[in-house]
Amino acid sequence: MDLSSIDPILLIAALMVAATPILLAALGELVVEKAGVLNLGVEGMMITGAICGFAVAVETGNPALGFVGGAAGGAALSLIFGILTQFLLSNQVATGLALTLFGLGISALIGQSYIGVKPPATTDLSFPILSDIPVVGPILFQHDAMVYVSLGLVIAVWYLLKYTRVGLVLRAVGENHDAAHALGYKVVRIRLAAIAFGGACAGLGGSYLSLVRVPQWTEGMTAGAGWIALAIVVFASWKAGRVLLGAYLFGGITVLQLNLQAAGMKIPVEYLSMSPYLITILVLVIMSADKSRAALNAPASLGRAFHASS
């Protein structure tokens, strides 16, 4: 094994790219869960976003439009979940699972004619001077725009939840939907908006996967990324800043194990490939073992159906 073939600078830069899809999806799910809704369909929305984004980018030749398409695809799928759980009061766990199963099917269906196609390249931004700083330059200033968008989104979500009226109302709805209703807030509408936002973020994350990270379309290419995003929300105990930490940590593990595979480490490839999932489980265990902390931050109405009885 040749560990010297691993360049720490490239590793960190690659980590940011690897983490971006999950970061986007987890941020969206964070907002959804803060509104008191548990959408387990992240995987389905991501893969739908992946193919929608891919298809739009290939057809238009414009990757930026592709990302818009991916977000739209994810949001559209999430609205199925929204209508079922918010208007028809279906079980959120079951509906989320259905969303994932359906998303995997519909994406494979749409994606048939795109297998083996190469998407238009997403160019990296280059910042004059900044990009040329040694070490910091390649790590921070030589990425494509979506990496910066995702970081901006972290700040936006953090600010929105903590300092704005919209964020306060959103948290209130997630905390106690009956009280929010009694005060005259439109619980269902607010939740639908959150669900659509979550869907758009997941779709964006999916399209980043198919347009930048891989970049090509294969069936089931999300390979559990949506579920890991869900786990990261728990890991982050519903805080935007810690979602970033969780996603980058996961991205780091993914990139590291890929590098170790390339460096010819003497562990079978399969065991390295399963390591991100095992480490996610481990982190989940550590986070949930402290019951009081988990209970304090989790939105109190999470996963409960709301029906205005009066």
Partner 1 sequence: MSTAHLRIDGLTKAYPGVVANDDISFEVAPGEVHALLGENGAGKSTLVKMIYGLVRPDRGQMTLQGKRFDPANPNAARRAGIAMVFQHFSLFEALDVAENVALGMDNPPPQRTLARRIREVSETYGLPLDPARLVGDLSAGERQRVEIIRCLLQDPKLLIMDEPTSVLTPQEVEILFKTLRKLSAEGTAILYISHKLEEIRALCDQATILRMGKLVASCDPREKTARALAEMMVGTELTTPDRVGTAQSEVALDVSGLSVASASPFGTSLRNVHLQVHKGEVLGIGGVAGNGQEDLLAALSGEVRTAPDAIKLGNRNVGHLRPNDRRALGLLSAPEERLGHAAAPDMSLTENALLTGAIREDLAKNGFLNWPAARAFADSIIREFDVRTPGAGHAARSLSGGNLQKFVIGREILQRPEVLVVNQPTWGVDAAATAAIRQAILNLATQGTAVVVISQDLDELMEISDRFAALNEGRLTAPQPTRDLTLDQIGLMMGGAHDMDVAQVAE
Partner 2 sequence: MIKLEKRPEPSRHWAYATPLLAVLATMIAGGILFAALGKDPFVAIRTIFWDPLFNDQFAAFSRPQLLVKAGPLILIAIGLSLGFRAGIWNIGAEGQYIVGALCGAGVALAFYPLEEWYVFPLMVLGGALGGWAWAMIPGILRTQFNTNEILVSLLLVYVAEQLMASMALGLMRNPDGGGFPGSRNLGDYPAAYNAEIIAGTGMHWGVVAAFIAVIFAYILLNRHIMGFNIRLTGQAPRAARFSGVKPNRLILFCLGTSGALAGLAGLFEVAGPAGQITIDFNVGYGFTAIIVAFLGRLHPAGILLAGLLMALTYIGGELAQFMLGLPAAAIQAFQGMLLFFLLAGDVLTNYRIRIGRAEVA
Contact criterion met (CB below 8 Å) for 106 and 226: no
CA triple 253-100-258, angle to 5 deg: 20
Applying CB under 8 A, does 180 fall inside the site for partner 1? yes
The C-alpha atoms of residue 202 and residue 21 are separated, in whole angstroms, by 8
x/- letters, 155..174, toward partner 1 (CB under 8 A): ----------x--xx-xx--
Contact criterion met (CB below 8 Å) for 152 and 162: no
The C-alpha atoms of residue 84 and residue 104 are separated, in whole angstroms, by 19
Residue 171 touches which of partner 1, partner 2, none (CB < 5 to 8 A by kind)? partner 1
The C-alpha atoms of residue 55 and residue 119 are separated, in whole angstroms, by 9
Which is nearer to partner 1, 128 or 184 (by Cβ)?
184
Which is nearer to partner 2, 139 or 231 (by Cβ)?
231
Residues 6+ apart with CB under 8 A from 125: 141, 142, 143, 144, 145, 148
Residue 176 touches which of partner 1, partner 2, none (CB < 5 to 8 A by kind)? partner 1
Query: To the nearest whole angstrom, how small is the minimum distance from the Cβ of residue 67 to partner 2?
Result: 24
Sites of contact with partner 2 (CB under 8 A): 40, 80, 84, 88-91, 93-95, 97-99, 101-109, 111-112, 181, 186-188, 219, 223-224, 227-228, 230-231, 234, 268, 270-271, 273-274, 277-278, 280-281, 284-285, 288-289, 291, 294, 307-309
Applying CB under 8 A, does 295 fall inside the site for partner 1? yes
Residue 274 touches which of partner 2, partner 1, none (CB < 5 to 8 A by kind)? partner 2
Query: To the nearest whole angstrom, how small is the minimum distance from the Cβ of residue 186 to partner 1?
Result: 9
Residue 283 CB neighbour total at 10 angstroms:
18
The C-alpha atoms of residue 119 and residue 123 are separated, in whole angstroms, by 12
Query: To the nearest whole angstrom, how small is the minimum distance from the Cβ of residue 154 to partner 2?
Result: 22
Which is nearer to partner 2, 61 or 268 (by Cβ)?
268
Q: 3-state class of 214 per DSSP? A: coil
The C-alpha atoms of residue 71 and residue 62 are separated, in whole angstroms, by 15
Applying CB under 8 A, does 117 fall inside the site for partner 1? no
Applying CB under 8 A, does 178 fall inside the site for partner 1? yes
* Cα 235 off chain centre by: 14
x/- letters, 184..213, toward partner 1 (CB under 8 A): xx----------------------------
- What does the buried/exposed string (b/e) look like for 184-222 if buried means 16 or more CB atoms within 10 Å of the residue's CB? ebebbebbbbbbbbbbbbbbbbbbbbbbbbebebeeebb
**Piece in contact with partner 1 (CB under 8 A), picked from 44-52, 130-138, 178-186, 195-203:** 178-186
Question: Applying CB under 8 A, which residues contact partner 1?
Answer: 165, 168-169, 171-172, 175-176, 178-180, 182-185, 292, 295-296, 299-300, 310
